[in-house]
Amino acid sequence: MQDIHVFRGKSGWVYLAITVMITGWTFYSFLQANYLTEAIVTLCNGFAICVFIWVFAITPKIIFSKSRIEIHNPFATVRIPWTEVVGMLTRYSLTIQTAEAKYASWAAPAPSIFAARRAHKADFSSRDLDSKKIITPSESPNSASGAAFVLALRYQKDIQPDTLNGTEKTINWLSVALMSLAIIALLYNFVH
């Protein structure tokens, strides 16, 4: 098992690349037609959409290590030592429960009622879920929350002492600043 494992959604980079390509092509088309104002508006809107994708689809991640779990959400980061983890839930997303609070992860959402399917027992072999009698769709290794749950169970087995004293929560100021710039870029549509 690796010392550190980063778990994040798979499609964020694809969305960002598609948005950058469409914005670039549209910007170039407006420049070729000598529509400078529309080209600037296209850049502002494309920038805003790229920021939204970056903040809400690429930034969320979970970092598993032998000493702690780090949950990176769009506007906050929580570092929790494994010794303080009381429980884990996967009802709406992977949620880590401590004695003080519950911390949900945006990187590992549970499947919707329409995406959930009945799982076969073979889907759970060597997944540390064999002992459970009832496995919900959100615990299925085929879902994001279930895959993160299985990783959390594996890392929780081999915990090591951490230098971190207690749960540490910080604000992601880069995301806040980028969202502010994106809102200003969208407001340019109303000014012009």
Taking alpha carbons only, the member of 151, 145, 56 closest to residue 94 is 145
Strands (E), the chain: 4-8, 61-65, 68-72, 76-81, 87-89, 93-97, 102-109, 168-171
What's the pLDDT score for residue 151? 80
pLDDT for 24 beyond 70: yes
For residue 61, give every residue at least 6 positions away whose Cβ sits within 8 Å of its Cβ, in sequence order, or none.
Answer: 6, 7, 8, 72, 107
Q: What does the mean pLDDT of the chain come to?
A: 83
The pLDDT tens digits for 170-191 are: 999 999 999 999 999 989 888 7
Taking the CB of residue 10, how many other CB atoms lie within 10 A of it?
8
Share of the chain above pLDDT 90, in %: 42
Q: Convert the pLDDT of each residue in 124-163 to its tens digit.
A: 555 555 555 556 666 666 677 777 887 888 777 777 776 6
Check if the beta carbon of residue 71 is closer than 8 Å to that of residue 169: no
